[in-house]
Structure 1
Amino acid sequence: MTSPQGRMRPQHPARHRVVDLVAAFDLSVRGVVPGHDALLSGVSVASGDVQPGDLFVALSGLKVHGATYAAQALEAGAVAILTDEAGAELLAAAQPPVPVLVTADPRALAGPVAAWAHDHPAHGIVTVGVTGTNGKTTTSYFVDAALRAQHASTGVMGTVELRIGPEAIESPRTTVEAPVVQSILALMHERGATACTMEVSSHALALGRVGGLEFDVVGFTNLQRDHLDFHGDMEGYFRDKSRLFAVGQARRGVVVVDDEWGQRLAAEAPIPVESVSTLVEGPSAQTADWAVTSADIGLDGIGSSFTLRGPDGTEHAAASPLPGRVNVSNAALAIVLAHRAGVDLPTAIAAVGHASAIPGRMERVVERGDGMPLGLVDYAHTPDALVLALDAVRPITPGRLILVFGSDGDRDQGKRPMMGEIGARQADVLIVTDENPRSEEPAAIRAAILSGVRTVRPDLADVHEATSRSQAIHDAFEIATERDTIIITGKGHEPTQEIAGVFHRYNDRDVLRAAAQARRELEGQDA
């Protein structure tokens, strides 16, 4: 069955001859020689998403080669297969009735081929890419708000959704595969969207998912510990993030220089780069092209106001609709990105300041009052992000700060005790539970978090453990008073929870609302 993102294609796709594809990319041909009448109209790296007229790109996977799924692709209507030598060898015995096109690195070619197949749809769309460890989603939504102030229709591709104009579907990952990126851009072009904002993950950059796309402007938020299971170390992580700022990948960049990695990227990037400092004090505030010179950090849902100094020395009054220092940084970056993408500065500032709520990002789900605590959901899932989230919530909490959190399975294990130590230092009550255990034993993940908690609270005072994330949220409501704040971190907007390889429908916001309703009903009965 074709996936939802696999169906996001133009109704009237471009069509190109397979023989022209061979010539354009200097491919070798095995088996059937392509005829001059064989036409392709799409590209897919997933056999289940292949549609009639597609080129199926068979990639080498971690466990199995994509060529083993060629029969499924052919049954769906693939007119040719692009693969490497290993894939060609696997296909030789089967003698597929379509041309097998061979290249040394089909993954690297998937994006450029898809862009060619769709007549380079990004050429008619203003494209903005955002990378960094934390803040990609928030910054992307702020940028989109500014672009919508100047463009009649825009698109968004990111962690939360794939959206064109008012229509959206859930996104399967932060950055979809390269052929999907190009088909969505082609659909945007067909529907009249003239601007697109995209989150670009480090995995996507390492795996070529934005190949064939040259962004008009790209932004960098920060680099903090995450995904070291994939990148190996921070140097490898930085190297992959830096790929977004390569010649041919982007025309210009905007980099937040609040950390050493941003400063290094701004200095080393081979494309024109503008720097943004958001720390108010420090050497970068004096030398950066753009700088936040003062900030009034918002409290209790009132966003933050700040002053942004431009390259010409002029100061501009600006705002973030979300509280916390981190969202001043996100808003400042978004303003500059949107401005360099063609939005006039006053329009960008006004639009970002009035941007609507962002799913799962410091999202207020239950408001304080009538005996109810304040209940928030935030995506913070790295040590630095957790510090910033708790810092933002503490000033608006007259009572206890209750933290419900966990850590992902099959991911960087080193951050688990770090998360536990941060929670123990900055929250009053901890409820340690599961996030996405994936293939790992959930109890082992919780134990690693609790080992960090014990470095601060050896007796585990006000620390609870819950084997069910839903139960953890209900437990938080049972102990909370109106003066308390409950913050649930780690999953944010995510619509599923992965346990032992099975995806279960689950969302923190829904459970938080249900827990609040259950408490209201119980208190109503008691009255």
Structure 2
Amino acid sequence: MPPGPETVFAATYLLDAALGTLGVVTGMISGVTVRGPGGARPATRTTPEAAVLQRILAEFREQDVGAVPMEVSSHAIVQGLVDGVWFRTVAFTNLGPDHLDFHGTMDRYFAAKAAVFTPDRAKAAVVNRDDEYARRLAATARIPVWTHSTNDTHADLYADEIRCGADGTDFSLHTPDGYARVRLSLLGPHQVGNALTALTSLAATGADVLGAAAGLETLHGVPGPPRRRPGFPRPRGLHAQHVGPERVVAVSALADGRRAAHPRDRRDRRPGSEQTVPARAHCRRVRRRRRHLIR
């Protein structure tokens, strides 16, 4: 099933809900929020700076957190922001033509993702067999690979008999340990792939997948990523908030710094877009907004 634009957001939240159903104390690091037993605060970027990330994980450990569902952007991998983290499970959802202004080519983009699917970075991989690049990763990964699919019954976990309605989505889940009917409060067939990502991540750790699946319906909504205001370009800074679907969900068992983006004359990078926002005009708008806030 093609993933939706909120793929990793939903998969991260579903994984958090599934772990909670199993009684695991969780922290969560997403592009929207950083949340743990001590409270929640808004996220400033998809993956925190390296030092900030380590501080967050240290706080979670002091709060007896047992697992941390988190999003890892391809930018963060290239910049070494997660070099100090060893993941119990990493999941590859899909790869699309986004962020090529940073990576240059799809092959370099794929290589950035694949860099964390190695024995020195993670213990197990979770791969969506319905995606071409994910299948390529499964064939080359040097760690144990768990697969899921909505089309291939040979995957470790697969879903069929998918039904979507105005009040939710339900499907039949097939696992090595048995079968279950799963219901989601989230809308849309793409949420099945998100749920499979979460459940397969648990299967890779030996957790009770069928027990966890029963609790997924408790998630009634997923906050979306920030949207840029009409007329303003998306920042190209290295730590800009990423709104595309191509990210990695990672599960780690175990004061915020910001870097300004320097606007330059450029075209919006969305396929088919020809909108150009001159840097000079963008800076004038920023100054006007700043003056308004100071008053």
Question: Alignment identity in percent?
Answer: 36
Structure 2 length as normaliser, TM-score?
A: 0.76
Partners in 1 of 2:219 and 2:163 — Cα distance?
18
Does 1:291 find its partner at 2:116?
no
Partners in 1 of 2:37 and 2:131 — Cα distance?
35
Aligned partner (choices 85, 91, 109) of residue 213 of structure 1: 85
Aligned pairs for 1:67-466 (under 5 A) are 135-151=7-23, 153-165=25-37, 167-278=39-150, 280=151, 285-297=152-164, 299-300=165-166, 302-311=167-176, 314-360=178-224, 408-409=233-234, 439=263, 445=268
**SS of match in other structure, 1:334:** helix
Q: Which AA in structure 1 matches 2:216?
A: V
* Displacement after TM superposition at 1:408 (Å): 4.5
**SS of match in other structure, 2:27:** strand
CA-to-aligned-CA distance 1:354-379 (integer Å, 9 cap, x gap): 21311127xxxxxxxxxxxxxxxxx7
**SS of match in other structure, 1:222:** coil
Structure 2, unaligned runs of 5 or more: 237-260, 291-295
Partners in 1 of 2:270 and 2:113 — Cα distance?
32
**SS of match in other structure, 2:142:** coil
* Displacement after TM superposition at 1:316 (Å): 2.0
Q: Which AA in structure 2 matches 1:315?
A: Y
* Displacement after TM superposition at 1:451 (Å): 5.6
Structure 1, unaligned runs of 5 or more: 1-131, 362-378, 382-403, 412-436, 453-466, 468-498, 506-527
Q: Which AA in structure 2 matches 1:233?
A: T
Instruction: Check the 8 A contact 2:268/2:274 in 1, yes or no.
Output: no
Shift of the 202–133 alpha-carbon distance from structure 1 to 2, 3 Å rule, reads: farther
Partners in 2 of 1:305 and 1:219 — Cα distance?
22
Partners in 2 of 1:213 and 1:182 — Cα distance?
8
**SS of match in other structure, 2:75:** helix
Per residue, is there more helix in 1 or in 2? 1
Structure 1 length as normaliser, TM-score?
A: 0.44
Shift of the 239–203 alpha-carbon distance from structure 1 to 2, 3 Å rule, reads: same
Alignment RMSD, CA only? 3.3
Instruction: Check the 8 A contact 2:146/2:204 in 1, yes or no.
Output: no
Question: Could you say which structure has the greater relative contact order, defined with CA pairs below 8 angstroms and 6 or more residues apart?
Answer: 2
Q: Which AA in structure 1 matches 2:110?
A: F
Partners in 2 of 1:245 and 1:145 — Cα distance?
24
Q: Which AA in structure 2 matches 1:286?
A: T
Instruction: Check the 8 A contact 1:319/1:331 in 2, yes or no.
Output: no
* Displacement after TM superposition at 1:208 (Å): 1.2
The number of aligned residues is: 256
* Displacement after TM superposition at 1:204 (Å): 0.9
Instruction: Check the 8 A contact 1:410/1:440 in 2, yes or no.
Output: no
Instruction: Check the 8 A contact 1:409/1:440 in 2, yes or no.
Output: no
Partner of 2:255: none
Partners in 1 of 2:11 and 2:232 — Cα distance?
24
Shift of the 237–445 alpha-carbon distance from structure 1 to 2, 3 Å rule, reads: closer
Shift of the 440–265 alpha-carbon distance from structure 1 to 2, 3 Å rule, reads: same
**SS of match in other structure, 1:263:** helix
CA-to-aligned-CA distance 1:124-165 (integer Å, 9 cap, x gap): xxxxxxxx9861111011001111223453101110011112
Shift of the 179–451 alpha-carbon distance from structure 1 to 2, 3 Å rule, reads: closer
Using the TM superposition, name which of 212-221 and 341-350 deviates more: 341-350
CA-to-aligned-CA distance 1:228-262 (integer Å, 9 cap, x gap): 01111111111001112111111011111111101
